[in-house]
Structure formats: C-alpha cells, structure tokens
Structure 1
Amino acid sequence: MNKFQELGLNELLLKAIQDLGFENPSEVQEKAIPLLLQQDTDIVALAQTGTGKTAAFGFPLIQKIDPENRSTQALILSPTRELCLQITNEIKQYSKYVKGLHTVAVYGGASITEQAKEVKRGAQIIVATPGRMQDMINRNLVNIKNIETCILDEADEMLNMGFYEDITSILSDTPDEKNTWLFSATMPQEVARIAKEFMKRPQEITVGHKNQGSVNVSHEYYLVGARDRYPVLKRLADMNPDIFSVVFCRTKRDTQAVAEKLIEDGYNAAALHGDLSQAQRDGVMKAFRGRQIQMLVATDVAARGIDVDDITHVINYQLPDEIETYNHRSGRTGRAGKTGTSIVIVTKSEFKKIQMIERIIKTKFVQKPIPTGMEICEVQLIHLANKVKGVEVDAEIDKYLPKIEELLGDLTKEELIKKMFSVEFNRFIEYYKKQNTIDSPKSREKGEATVNSDGSVRYFLNLGARDNFDWMSLKDFLRDTLDLGRDDLFKVDVKEGFSFFNTDASHSERIMEVLNNMHHEGRQVNVEISTSGGGSGRSSSRRDHNNRRGDRGFDRGERRSSTKERSSDKSERSLERKFGRRREDDRPVRNERRSVRGDRPRRTN
C-alpha cells in the first residue's frame, strides 16, 4: 500500500503519485499534507532544501483548487526563474489528471505580454518571482485580489535577495481572509517579521531543529593558506574522480575566474552567474544535468533553483557573507535520501565563521588533511582499474584482436597491465612529482596579514608610476579589480616601480588571492603584506590626498614615534629592494609557471 493514501489525498493525485514512483512521503510531507487538507490555516514550515517541500504544499493546494472556476485561486512566490519553472513543472505533473486546472509561470527574462495572455486565458495557480509579479500588478495585467491561498517558497532566500518590499507589496494586494503558507529552510528575523505582519496565528511545522542542516550531509573543512585555495580545490577534485559538484564563490568575478582556471587545467567545469544571458544559463544547466559538466562554479543567486538529486559534493570555495546561506548551499547535496558532502576551503582568518555555522546548523565540522600527491595518484589508479573492470566490451573489437595480439603478444600479463595503466596514470604521477606538499597553516604564514591598531593592513604592490599609475588611477584600478567600496582602500602611495596601499583586514585574503593570480599588461602582479603599519615614514610628512577619511593631512597630524618611523622605513625599503630585483625577472618566472601548469593531466570521464 502506498503510504500517500494515508494522508487523505484523492484518487487523481494518488494516480499521479504512482506515475511519478513516489512511495513514502518525506517528514515534511507527512506533517504538512494532512494539516493543510483538514484545516484552513496559515502555516510556517521549516525544512532543509531538498526535503520535498514542493509536494508538501503542492498536493493539498491542487486538491483545494476548483478547476471549473477559471479565476486565479492561488499564488506561489519563489526567488528565481529556475525555481519558478521547476515548481510550475512539478505542479503540472501532480495535477495532470485534474481536468481544467492550469498553472502558469510568471518570471523575468521572458515576454510579459505572453505571460499576461496565459493568465487571462485562465490560470487557477500562478507561480511567480516577486519582481515580475509586482510588475504585472503595477500594469494591471493580473488580479490576485480574490485568491484563497498564497505560498511563499524559499522565503528566506527571497528576503536575502532583497525582495522584502516586493513581497509585502504583493501580500498587501491579496485578501485578508486568504491562507498563507510559508516554507523556508531557515528562520531569520525578516521571515519572522513577514509571518507576524501577514499571517494569522500560523501553525508551525519543523523538520529537525530550526536552521538545522540535512542529516544526510557530512560537513568537512580544509584549512589552507590564502594562496593555496585554488591548488587545494584541484586536489579535492582529483581525490574524488567521480565528483559531481557545485563550487560556490562569493562574486561573479571569482566564479568566472575559477571556472576558467578549472577548464584550462582539464576539468569538465562551467560558470553560472548573473552576467550570463538566459540562453547561456539554460545551456549550462542542461549540460550539468546531463553530467557533461562535473564542476559547476556558481554564485549563490545563480544557484538558487538548482534541483539535481545526484550532486555528490558542495564545495565552498569561499564562505558566504550571510552565514544562513551556508544551509542553502549544503542543501544542494544529500537530496532524495542520498548522502552528500559539504566541503569548506577556509583560511585561518575565516575560521570563526566555521564555528558560527556549527552553532546555527547544530552540526560539527570535521577537519580533513589536504591530500598529498601520492594519495591522489593512488586513488586515480584504483579508479582507473575499476573503470577498466566495469567497461562494457563491444563485439566489434573482436575483428581487431588478431592485430592487437600480434603487436602486444611478446608482453607478459604483468607488463601489459603496467603499460596499459601507465598510458593514463603517468600524467598524474608526473604532475604531482613536481608539486610541493600543501600543509594546513599552523602558525602565522609569511604574507598573512599583520593588522594595525586601526584594523587595517598595508600592502606592497609591484605596480607604480612606471606602469602609468598615479595614486588616483591606481586606487580606481584596485577598487574595480577587487570589487571594493569607495572608502575600503586608502593611504595609496605610488612610487616609480611599486606602490603601497591600505585596506581593512577583512579584505586581506581576497586581495592576496586576486592580485597574486593576475597579470597587468603581460606582467605578473605581485602583492605582499608590509609590516610597516600605516605607511612609509618618509612619506608621512607630505599630503595624502586619498586618506581613508578624506583628510588633507596624513593621519591628520597624528604623531608617530621616531622608532616606528625608522622601523617602517626599514621594512618598506626591504620590500622595495625585493620588488626592484623581481621586476626584471617577472617574465621568465611567469613562463616557467605556465609550462608547469601545462603539464597538468587532463581529466577523463
């Protein structure tokens, strides 16, 4: 007996459920479906991403809809176009035996006129993104003043994306006597505020504890130096040959850069971010679902709505700015009852975030050692052996066997095995022989930020007046390159062949990572931490036109001890000498690095 029958669903829905192969309802479905069928009530349902929330509200909603009434009876709001289309498709599958019931998706990036026409033909259920829905309301293209049910799906995500005003405006255009069903993975203050303002004594359904992560997901972290983040990402990919993952970055720029590096190094990777056209995003997602892409590098916004059940790993290349967002990231794996792994690549300066996430999701992270080259080679060799053992043999090969046997007949079994595996394996072993062991940092690394008393860090950069920069143009260049705000970068001091600048310590890791992995007009950029503090003692007497607070005098006349000035001078002169020598050697060093990277073995599926 199908357990969905015990929840009170009608025969038409049970028939669709049988077609879909559903047998056992998830916990959120067991709790929500009977409640929503038996009562006209508002509810707040908290459950991790991937636990079947769409069916939890979709089945009772369909059963309550009057298909003979062609007016709009229900509105479902979701954060992204992808999720909007996904929900629409699932509602259509659930309701395929309900004659006369129509569901329409309303989202940006498509013709608003065509969507309005579909609604006008008769749409009992509208699934919409908040921005497009508000636009249609403003143009009088849709009427939701008489709906009976409003559903907010992934409510925390919508609010994280800045849709609070749109959501409150849309809800204000709906009748007071409607039922509001709010489904969310977490319960931040903004969601609680929506519930308090627009819901009447809502009943609460919680799967696990509030904000708790999925029990099917294990959480691991790798402690790395700031410059080792990308090499460690490659090692994790090589250590998991069958990886099928989403790699999360904070910004569109980082997402594109990481994806391009992975592709250049032979991985099946692609970027997914807001600068892609809708056609490009659709193409990437189609390739990812078809497993043509093994590593999808994405921003949080672009990844919302990804619904792929077999993702093996979520890799946090950078932790999100909002701690609650981690729950949504990790929820991309461990879906549909399967297990998954959420990995964080973290530096010492970020480690407090791990502890904060542990408190929120009520789960401990396990620190893992960074894989060595020999460990990776062993894994790859065993993977290749299993692949050979499991390959299906096409009968067409039989006609070529006499020639093959003639060519290889003088080899022993052991020699044949060694040579066959070496064809693929040699590339890995040769690559990792050239790579140094990457250890997790135990003490302060060279180049790790020395934080000044004002919370800032000073940097030494091998770009200067010789590269056509003055303090203003260099400041603009760095702000654009690093996505920094107007006041995030200050005390810019440009010399002939190098420069100094300061930022808050919170930007240190990103600055080291981005600048040390880029070129400017064909030359490798190098940046290092200066231990001198606020700025060079020799320049402290002149005006600093780009002071953090806009002051005309350097540090506004703050007195410095002569000892500190001499220490600053000595430290910065040391870096000047170092960068002055390095400048002439930049090009050959870069070419050598490129040749080493070119030896990286291309991955095989």
Structure 2
Amino acid sequence: MNNFEQLGLSPKLLNAILDLGFENPSEVQQQAIPILLENETDLVALAQTGTGKTAAFGFPIIQKIDTESKQTQALILSPTRELCLQITNELQLYGKYEKSLNVVAVYGGASITEQERQIKRGAQIIVATPGRMKDMLGRKMINISEIKYCVLDEADEMLNMGFYEDITDILSHSNKNKKTWLFSATMPKEVASIAKEFMKKPIEITVGSKNEGSKNVVHEYYTVNGRDRYNALKRLADAHPDIFSVIFCRTKRDTQKVAEKLIEDGYNASALHGDLSQNQRDLVMKSFRTRQIQMLVATDVAARGIDVDDITHVINYQLPDEVETYTHRSGRTGRAGKHGISMVIITKSEQRKIKQIEKIINKSFTQKEIPSGEEICQVQLLHLAKSIKNTEVNHDIDQYLPQIENMLEDFDKEELIKKLFSVEFTRFHNYYKGANKIESSSHSGDYSDDSGSTRFFINVGSKDGFSWMSLKDLLKAELDLGRDAVNKVDVKASFSFFNVDESQTDKVLKVFEDYEYQGRQVNVEVTKGKTGGGSRKRRDRKKGGRKSNESFKTKSNAKRRDSNKGKSSRKANIKSSINRRKKKK
C-alpha cells in the first residue's frame, strides 16, 4: 500500500494527513493500520524509534472511538513526560477535524488537579506516564474501567525504567475485554512476559528483525585508551563541523562532567539528566530543538522521549549497561527517512560488547581511527570555505566598502584569502599543531605497552556474578584510587584482569593480601607476560588443576574456621562500598 487512501482511513483523517504533509505511510503504518481498523484484536508491533509508530496506533484509535461520548475509551502509556506530550500533540493534529475529540496528557511535574479537571470535562483518550497514572487511579481521579483500547508505547523502555509493577497495577483497573496494542523497538523477555500476561493471541508484526537497528544508521567504533576518551570525543566533534548530536553517558555525574568540559572548551553543549528540574529540562530541550545547543550530553533515562528528527550523530561516550539499550540510543538518529551515524568510543576490554551488539541489531560496525590534528584542520578549513561561499551577501555593508577597500588595497587576492581564513582557522591550527595522534589500543593486546601501568590477575569472574562494570566498581570502591584509576577490566569465566598505575602496585597487593568475597579467598597477582591473558602464573595455575583447587579450598576453609565473631564480614564491606557509590551516582 503506497498511499494512506488504501489503508481504510476516514476522510477526516485523510484531510488531516494532507494538512500535515505526510505523503506515504511508513512500513509499520502499512502493516498495523489495516489490521487495527479491520479487527478487534491484541497487537504486538516491533519497530524502531522514529518509524512512525505514533500514527500507526493513533489513526486507528481516533477512527474507532466514539467522539460523541465523553467517556474515556482509550489509554496510552508512555515512559516519559516528553514522549507523553509529543503523543498528545500528534493525536490532536491527527484529530483536528474531529471537533468533539478531547485528548488529555497526564504526567508528573504539572498540576494534578488541573489534569483531573480536564479529564472530568470528557477525555476520550488519555495519554499518561505510568507514575502519574497510578497516582491518579489511587486517588480515584480517573476511571478507566470501560476503556476499549490500551496502548503500551515504547514498552521496552517503560520496563527498563522499572515500571513493570506500575503497568500491571494500572491494567488491573481496566476492562478485561479491552484490546491491548504493544509497540516496542526491542523484544526483551520482560516485554514478552507482558504480552503473555495481558494479551490474548496477539497478532505480531515486525518491521525488519526483532531488536534490529535502523537501516538508515551507520555504526562506527573507535578504540582508545581510557585516559583519551574525552579528547577522542572532541576530535570526533571537530571532524564533523555540522554535527548535531546526542552524547550518551552512563551516569548523571559523567553526563554533567562531560557537558561542563565541552562548554569550557567552547562547544555549544548542555547536559540532560535526572537531577535537572522540569523547567530546566524544558529549557534545555527547547535550546536543543532550535539548535542553540549542538551537543546534548544525556543519560539514557533522560533522553527517552527526545523527538528531534535532524540529529546527525549519536555518540556513545560510554556503552550502556544493557546491550539492548544501544538500539534505543542509535535510534535517535536516522529518523524520518534521513541518514545518521552512531559512534561508539570504547577501550579494548569493551570490544567484545561490540560483537554482542552486532548480533542484536543485525548490523556490522566499522572500526575507525580517531582523526589526526592535520585531518581535522583540513576539514575545518574546507568547511569554512564552504560557509563563506554559501553566505548571502549583506548589502548593508555597501556604504562601508570604500573604506574597507582603501584599508586593504595593499594586499593581493592570495594574501586577502590567507588573512580571511586565518581569522577563524588559527584557533584550530594552534590547538592541533604538534598534537599527538590518539592511538587505537586495539592494534595490540600487549598490555605492557601501557606506560606506567601494571596488569593484575584476580581469581573472580563471571561465574561469581561479575560483569566488567560491576568488577570495576568493586575495585574502585576497595582501592579508592579515583574514578579512572582502574582500567582495562577483562572478565573471564573464573578469573579476570585489570590495570592500575604502577605506582599503586603495592597498595593493590596490600588491599587484597587477606581478602574474602562471599566466603572465599580472593587472590590478586601481578601478571607476567605481555598479554596478561597468557601469563605464566595463570598457565601454571591451570596445570596445577585439581591439586591447586583442593589446596585453595583447604586454605579458604581454614581461614573461615579461624574467623571469630568480632571480625567484620568482608562481604558486608564490599556491598556497603558498592551501595555508597551507587547512591553517589
């Protein structure tokens, strides 16, 4: 179906579509709209962010509800305030020729009594965030017992944000015979469980493959040493003068720190995270949409609901905790049929995550080198030339031309060009003049090449419940050496490796000299050999086989028997350290 007329939409909706300038339906709209118009069925629709999912469920809802009735007939749940308001605004535009249609947004950070008043005036469609919706149901401000349709938009995002219990509680107040339409970019097990629990034989449609990344997005990764991460970010920005991007960090603290450093270095940047007030968030997003902000540094939670179609780049300053979250990050670019680039800055120990992401999004990454200073200078110079060429002449300066010509009459064309470009170009040239190239840490597995760094072996791994991130958090908490002191954490099944500045070698060995984790002795050693993963000590340990294990168990059991009641549990200390750091974040 190549046009909206073939989808079975009403004349009023088609007129609204014409006013909005929509030409052809997207793939998810082609698949979902006829099914929802022709059938009373539950539906699971998997499609990337930015593929037109709001219209895919919005058009059928508007066409199927009774606008003459003031009773609430449809509920749409979305993860964030921004997305809630976006959906509300779009539905109002779609239903502009339905004179009696009333769509009300219900979200936190606004007057709950005013939202109650709007609903009591008659709201056929309520668009809500789970937290505020649950609150209003608890206060009996809303009645959804007779709704006919419930839409769970960005379902994976809502569940990832911890709204599972809120959603189940909200749905318990609704009509059991309602139809549920679930729209999601990915299909993790939590989304599948929602579908199984609250839907009856749902029709499933998939645009692309499950969890697949957008076809319009190119994926690149850059491997650097941890200490070069921020400088790599700046070079990527400088190498793309027209960049309009979202930069993702894992924590609020890192988000604020990176944004502040970018601002100090002269970039049009700002932070978006959970510690901002609603008014601050609104101001930041307004500045971003109007391109007063060129680089928006955000956490995953804060960025949910961002609906800006012209984002050129997504930069993963740090990879997300959950691999599936990468799909949502990259989906912020390449929207509305446009092309985008998703960049990832990683250390060598994170390269395995790239392979995991490739399997999930069904896309391949291209490994690239951080641009050199010379390359950046060339890009900036040509960009300046292009800007001058495309600049419209301001004829208000005509009256001053005789004075200007008189001032510059001693210079020929070549000299004038050099002087003109030097005004803007000198800053970049001076900054990058003689700057060292940021070398990729992926060229060699030789950890001994890290100047002043010591590689350690530790006998805990994934079988002990550690990921590279949780082990790094533990090490940072116990060693107390600063945020970036522990790097190159490489977690195997039953053992791991990590790097620390060689000046701290004695401290690391002392901290772990008599250390227990969950009742077992933890052993930390300096690796011998270039790769760390192939050290003699580890090979000898493997050759020792069962005897080594038995010796370890005997020693560990003896230590536990010798522990007295007055000795505090090391496990408790570990958990306490980790919890303290989580609270700070």
Aligned twin of 2:415: 415
**Aligned-pair CA distance for 1:434:** 4.0
* 1:582-603 C-alpha deviation (Å, 9 max, x unpaired): xxxxxxxxxxxxxxxxxxxxxx
Question: How do 1:416-565 residues align onto structure 2 when only pairs under 5 Å count?
Answer: 416-441=416-441, 442-443=443-444, 444=447, 445-446=450-451, 450-455=455-460, 492=479, 505=489, 530-531=504-505, 535-536=509-510, 547=515, 549=517
**Aligned-pair CA distance for 1:410:** 1.0
Which secondary structure state, in structure 1, belongs to the residue aligned with residue 426 of structure 2? helix
Which secondary structure state, in structure 1, belongs to the residue aligned with residue 152 of structure 2? strand
Residues 450 and 529, structure 1, Cα contact 8 Å, conserved in 2? no
Partners of 1:371 and 1:559 lie apart in 2 by 38
Instruction: Give the direction of change, closer, same or farther, for the CA distance of 1:359–1:379 in structure 2 (3 Å limit).
Output: same
Instruction: Give the direction of change, closer, same or farther, for the CA distance of 1:420–1:166 in structure 2 (3 Å limit).
Output: same
For structure 1, which segment, 411-420 or 432-441, has the greater mean C-alpha deviation from structure 2 after superposition? 432-441
Partners of 1:274 and 1:67 lie apart in 2 by 38
Aligned twin of 1:105: 105
Taking only aligned residues, the RMSD between alpha carbons, in angstroms, comes to 2.9
Residues 288 and 294, structure 2, Cα contact 8 Å, conserved in 1? yes
Aligned twin of 2:242: 242
Aligned twin of 1:470: none
**Aligned-pair CA distance for 1:448:** 5.8
Partners of 2:522 and 2:377 lie apart in 1 by 59
Residues 29 and 52, structure 1, Cα contact 8 Å, conserved in 2? yes
Instruction: Give the direction of change, closer, same or farther, for the CA distance of 1:210–1:491 in structure 2 (3 Å limit).
Output: closer
Q: Is 1:60 aligned to residue 60 of structure 2?
A: yes
Aligned twin of 1:304: 304
**Aligned-pair CA distance for 1:174:** 1.0
Instruction: Give the direction of change, closer, same or farther, for the CA distance of 1:18–1:139 in structure 2 (3 Å limit).
Output: same
Which secondary structure state, in structure 1, belongs to the residue aligned with residue 458 of structure 2? coil
Instruction: Give the direction of change, closer, same or farther, for the CA distance of 1:355–1:502 in structure 2 (3 Å limit).
Output: closer
* 1:454-504 C-alpha deviation (Å, 9 max, x unpaired): 249xxxxxxxxxxxxxxxxxxxxxxxxx9999966565599xxx9xx9999
Instruction: Give the direction of change, closer, same or farther, for the CA distance of 1:349–1:529 in structure 2 (3 Å limit).
Output: farther
Partners of 2:480 and 2:396 lie apart in 1 by 71
Question: How do 1:576-587 residues align onto structure 2 when only pairs under 5 Å count?
Answer: none
Partners of 2:231 and 2:33 lie apart in 1 by 47
* Paired residues, number: 507
Instruction: Give the direction of change, closer, same or farther, for the CA distance of 1:61–1:550 in structure 2 (3 Å limit).
Output: closer
Q: Is 1:273 aligned to residue 247 of structure 2?
A: no
* AA partner of residue 136 (structure 1): M
Question: How do 1:361-376 residues align onto structure 2 when only pairs under 5 Å count?
Answer: 361-376=361-376
Q: Is 1:360 aligned to residue 334 of structure 2?
A: no
Aligned twin of 2:533: none
Q: Is 1:178 aligned to residue 178 of structure 2?
A: yes
* AA partner of residue 173 (structure 1): H
Residues 145 and 174, structure 1, Cα contact 8 Å, conserved in 2? yes
Aligned twin of 1:591: none
Partners of 1:101 and 1:447 lie apart in 2 by 68
**Aligned-pair CA distance for 1:103:** 0.4
**Aligned-pair CA distance for 1:550:** 9.1
Residues 243 and 313, structure 2, Cα contact 8 Å, conserved in 1? yes
Question: How do 1:69-88 residues align onto structure 2 when only pairs under 5 Å count?
Answer: 69-88=69-88
Instruction: Give the direction of change, closer, same or farther, for the CA distance of 1:455–1:123 in structure 2 (3 Å limit).
Output: same
Partners of 2:324 and 2:41 lie apart in 1 by 28
**Aligned-pair CA distance for 1:3:** 1.2
**Aligned-pair CA distance for 1:2:** 8.2
* AA partner of residue 67 (structure 2): P
* 1:41-64 C-alpha deviation (Å, 9 max, x unpaired): 000000011000000000000000
TM-score normalized with structure 1 length: 0.79
Q: Is 1:397 aligned to residue 397 of structure 2?
A: yes
Aligned twin of 2:332: 332
Partners of 2:185 and 2:71 lie apart in 1 by 31
Residues 458 and 524, structure 2, Cα contact 8 Å, conserved in 1? no
Instruction: Give the direction of change, closer, same or farther, for the CA distance of 1:362–1:558 in structure 2 (3 Å limit).
Output: closer
List structure 1 runs of 4+ shifted beyond 4 angstroms: 482-494, 501-504, 526-534, 547-551, 555-561
Percent of aligned pairs sharing the same letter: 65
* 1:338-379 C-alpha deviation (Å, 9 max, x unpaired): 000000001101111100000000100000111000000000
Partners of 1:132 and 1:257 lie apart in 2 by 31
* AA partner of residue 419 (structure 1): K
* 1:136-188 C-alpha deviation (Å, 9 max, x unpaired): 11111100011000000000000000000011111121111110000000000
**Aligned-pair CA distance for 1:247:** 0.3
Residues 222 and 368, structure 2, Cα contact 8 Å, conserved in 1? yes
Aligned twin of 1:258: 258
Partners of 2:470 and 2:256 lie apart in 1 by 14
Which secondary structure state, in structure 1, belongs to the residue aligned with residue 509 of structure 2? coil
**Aligned-pair CA distance for 1:534:** 5.1
* AA partner of residue 132 (structure 1): R
Partners of 1:332 and 1:560 lie apart in 2 by 44
* AA partner of residue 219 (structure 2): H
* AA partner of residue 135 (structure 1): D
Structure 2: where are the runs of 5+ without partners?
462-468, 492-497, 529-585
Which secondary structure state, in structure 2, belongs to the residue aligned with residue 536 of structure 1? helix
* AA partner of residue 221 (structure 1): Y
Structure 1: where are the runs of 5+ without partners?
457-481, 514-525, 564-605
Residues 152 and 181, structure 1, Cα contact 8 Å, conserved in 2? yes
